[in-house]
Amino acid sequence: MSLFFRCAFSHLFRRSNGLGVEPWQLDSWVRMCRTLPEGEFSRSLIIQAATKLAQLEHEGQAYEETLERLADSYKELKAVQAKVAELSAEEARYWKTSRVAAFLVDLVMIS
């Protein structure tokens, strides 16, 4: 076997082993990856997400728990975004009112 193929195989083995895929599982992983639909998300993003989920499960976090935490975080994000929008609008009204008040003061001072 040439040096190139040995290096390529070594790299493939390290990368797949890092994902928890044993060499005897590579064929089924390749078939599974090919069956993933190429649509809104690329196959590589789907595989990365699945790998991250597998890591979380390996660390003791259940799939359902992870989804629940994600849903809670999403709700919290939406609430914070709404509050930021509200505060931005309030700030804009404040500065608009301040400019009008400053203009009126200047107008009175000139008169």
Residues 57 and 87 in one domain: no
Whether the full predicted model's pTM is greater than 0.85, yes or no, is no
- CA–CA separation, 27 and 12 (whole Å): 13
What are the start-end ranges of the H helices in the chain? Answer: 3-18, 26-35, 43-58, 63-110
- Asked whether the predicted pLDDT for residue 5 surpasses 70, the reply is no
Residues 6 and 51 in one domain: yes
Residues 11 and 57 in one domain: yes
Residues 56 and 66 in one domain: no
For the segment 69-97, the average pLDDT, to the nearest whole number, is 91
Query: Which of 1-5, 19-23, 72-76 has the lowest average pLDDT?
Result: 1-5
pLDDT of the residue at 23: 75
Residues 6 and 57 in one domain: yes
Residues 95 and 48 in one domain: no
Range of the domain at 85: 62-111
Residues 41 and 76 in one domain: no
pLDDT of the residue at 14: 73
Q: How many structural domains comprise the chain?
A: 2
